[in-house]
Chain A
Amino acid sequence: MTTTLPANESLMALTAYSQTMVYFLVAALLAFFSLIMIFILYVRRIMINARDKKIQALQFSFQYLIYEALVESQATQGKAQQLIVEKLKKEACKSSLHQQTLADLIINLKRNFSGDAEKQFVQLYHLLHLSQYSLKKLRARRWDVRVKGIRELVEMKQDHLDTQLAITNLITDKNPVVAQEAQMASIVMENTPLDFLYHLQQPLTAWHELSLHHLLLKLDPKLVPVFTPWLSSSNESVVLFSLKMIAYFEQQQACGQVVQCLSHPAASVREEASCTLSRLTLRHTPEANPETA
């Protein structure tokens, strides 16, 4: 057994002491981080409240100017409107918060109107160069900003060629939310909706199908395409989606191609084709249709 030397003892004591100090230091650091978090919790609330109040004040002043711009334009054949538009442009240039508040306000107002008033809001949006502001968002690094840009452009019917092109470029975006949003936008903005289905590499998710269907229901029924071209797609999910849509929109003219799908190599497609056929034929049997009966 070794005897403990005084030198060793003092070394051990020193090690223990420094260890204790390290622990205290770690505890102090942890406490410091906790305090920082308490500070963030407190400051964030104050900042959010202040921001909300500022937005409310801005909305109030912008609302007044927009109202003047719309009413005065009718009274003075657009001269007064030009002045107010210039004033709004100056206001919007002050900060991105000003610009975004103005854009959000016009979009919300536009949603609540139809006919001429709706057109005036769209025109005002364009005159204030807010469409350029939205277009710029499509090049943002953050995916949510890109999605917001697409939404704004679609909502404000900014369907110029450059806008369409910029949105089409996002159809193959790496972020699935951006890609899906761009695809939805292309349905609303382009004359050939659903063209992106020809080039879709990824399988469609159920959510994607549901969103597309939801959007197609909002379209003018004449614009809903016949889904037969996509029945020969190499993307199995596209074929399945097309079969579901043929059944839902009762596209009788597609019956022949649906029958061909019964010999598709994928079992899921064969199953869906059979469901589609039964739904199509059930709806058009003489018993089901009193006129033909």
Chain B
Amino acid sequence: MKAILFELAAFVAEHVVFFYATVIGFSYLSLAIVSFFYIRSYIREIRFIDYNAILSSPLAPPISLIIPMYNEAQTIIDSVRSLLSLRYNNYDIIVVNDGSKDHSLEKLIEYFHLIPTSPMVSHQIATKTVRGVYRSRSKAFRRLIVVDKINGGKADALNAGINISQNKLIATLDADSILAPDALLKMVKPYLQSHEQVIATGGVVRIANSCTIEDGNLVKVHLPSSFLARFQALEYLRVFLLSRLAWSKLNGLLIISGAFGLFDRQVVIKAGGYSTETVGEDMELVVRMRKYMQDCGLKYKVCYIPDPLCWTESPSTLKILGRQRNRWARGTAETLYRHRGLFFNPRYGLMGMISYPYWFFFEFLAPFVEATGLLYFSWLAVTGRIEWMHFISLLSVVYTFAVLLSMLALMAEEFSYYKYAKKSDTLKLIATAFLEPVLYHPVLLFHALKGNIELLIGKKSWGEMKRKGFQENIEEHKSKPAVSS
């Protein structure tokens, strides 16, 4: 009887996992195909777009760029200086100091000649106490508003920025990220172009490690020199160019990266603003905004554009990477749990019937299924039941499929923005694609599982993210002669 039960369990495990892997494989491939078509048509279209029309137009919508800041003294001055020179006519920058313990605020006050003001603040979203609002005495920095508040986390800081903003659109940006000069022009385009209301737009986020950065501006793109950052560079290409673009095309996108996103301020407020109860506030907000629009019976869109608009510093050590992925896993699980009512709920259309189940089965459950597979394999190995040829054949399918996906991402990059133009960079990325499933993926799997377990035992912390800072990149490249591409 025991043997029969075991055989039955083994049969179910093998077949369910096989079915799961097949469905996930086909869905990845389908998304990649949709992305390719979208990128091709987008690249054709932007050849004819005159972004100067937006730049000089009084009809361009005003935007508030909100930057939450917590202990960013190392990079904040350069970041703000770079943001003040963005190519957009009608925007302001709201830096929200979330109770930094370093000298971030003092540095800003001194450098930008800030003085306290008393602006009109609409307290439409509840936040921790705002200690003061500062504006510059200098006309050159008239766009800059600095808000000082008691520490309440990233979401709370963003909410304070939303309260201060008077504009129709808000863009959120991480303090350690760098924007392309025309980022706002490009991000606002889907908002202007669509017949339906666009409630949020995202752009492709790229890894800035090893890039040459001067005065907070990206001067030259380099492939990260460290293996860890290079793995992440490839991962970002895959996620943004193959997955998010496709979901955007299908209008089923559930996340806009916290690093950079553009939102309709009124919809954000009506949906309740960023949640301070989760560590995955970026995804949670998009899901809530979509839910709000569906509940109101309003037509809407969440867009993603393939332009590489935002460059961010990726974790440079395994420890920090672990914290980040742990947080992402908890954020996903929290959001899915909080909005569990969407699961296969036809009332929410594509979001309820496809997007949410996809995230549940293939983003949330994937680490568990993988871990179960590994445990099952280990047990088979210990008890000597493994048919090694069969195992190797299955393993080679999984491995080659992972490599194929990375190759598709490299193709998408090649046919779109071609940022890593050096031949040696492409060769390095190809080599990375072959190593990633073996060296990098297990690390991600471990931290995703750890994150979910910690969520179950009630851990809520954000996890400290130590930054190397872009200054070191400049030093790094000053010591190395730059090779022209």
Contacts and interface: CB of A to CB of B under 8 A. Distances in A.
B311 interface: no
Contact of B59 (A23, A30, A45, A206): A206
A100 to B, nearest CB: 14
Contacts of B408: 37
Query: Dominant SS at the B interface?
Result: helix
A27 B58 CA distance: 57
Contacts of B57: 210, 213-214
B277 interface: no
A118 B400 CA distance: 58
A214 B397 contact: no
B393 A23 contact: yes
Interface string A16-27: 100111011011
Contacts of B430: 38, 41
- Nearest 5 A/B pairs, CB to CB: A23-B393, A30-B400, A27-B396, A214-B53, A207-B192
Contacts of A24: 393, 396
Contacts of B410: 37, 41
A37 B53 contact: no
A210 B54 contact: yes
A20 B389 contact: yes
8 contacts: A27-B396, A30-B400, A30-B403, A30-B404, A31-B400, A40-B411, A144-B47, A214-B50
A268 to B, nearest CB: 13
Nearest to A241: B59
Nearest to A237: B195
B478 interface: no
B100 interface: no
B59 A213 contact: yes
A147 B48 contact: yes
B390 A19 contact: yes
Nearest to A145: B44
Contacts of A40: 411
A177 interface: yes
B59 A210 contact: yes
B192 A205 contact: yes
A16 B388 CA distance: 12
Contacts of A144: 44-45, 47-48
Given A144-B47, A205-B193, A206-B59, A37 B407 contact: yes
A6 interface: no
Interface string A198-214: 00001101110111011
Contacts of B423: 45
A206 B191 contact: yes
B58 A248 contact: yes
Given A151-B48, A181-B48, A27 B397 contact: yes
A41 B53 contact: no
Interface residues of B, number: 40
B393 A27 contact: yes
Interface string B53-95: 1101111110000000000000000000000000000000000
A284 interface: no
Interface string B188-230: 0101111100000000000000000000000000000000000
Interface of A: 16, 19-21, 23-24, 26-27, 30-31, 33-34, 37-38, 40-42, 44-45, 143-144, 147-148, 151, 177, 181, 202-203, 205-207, 209-211, 213-214, 244, 248
B436 to A, nearest CB: 13
Contact of A41 (B47, B387, B400, B411): B411
Contacts of A202: 195
A38 B410 CA distance: 9
A280 to B, nearest CB: 16
A209 B393 CA distance: 58
Contacts of B102: none
B426 interface: yes
B192 A206 contact: yes
Contacts of A181: 48
Interface in B367-400: 387, 389-390, 393-394, 396-397, 399-400
A33 B60 contact: no
- Among A44, A203, A207, which residue has the most Cβ atoms of chain B within 10 A? A207
B450 to A, nearest CB: 30
A34 B400 contact: yes
B397 A20 contact: no
Interface string B170-198: 00000000000000000001011111000
Interface string B12-54: 0000000000000000000000000000000011011010111
Contacts of A37: 404, 407-408, 410-411
Contacts of B195: 202-203, 205
B401 interface: yes
Contacts of B476: none
A20 B389 CA distance: 7
A108 B389 CA distance: 64
Contact of B414 (A44, A151, A203): A44
Nearest to B56: A214
Nearest to B48: A147
A58 to B, nearest CB: 20
Contact of A207 (B48, B189, B387, B401): B189
Contacts of A203: 195
A96 to B, nearest CB: 18
Contacts of B426: 41-42, 45
- Among B399, B407, B426, which residue has the most Cβ atoms of chain A within 10 A? B407
A178 to B, nearest CB: 10
B407 A34 contact: yes
A177 B401 contact: no
Nearest to A176: B193
Contact of A20 (B54, B59, B194, B393): B393
B201 to A, nearest CB: 13
Contact of A177 (B45, B394, B396, B411): B45
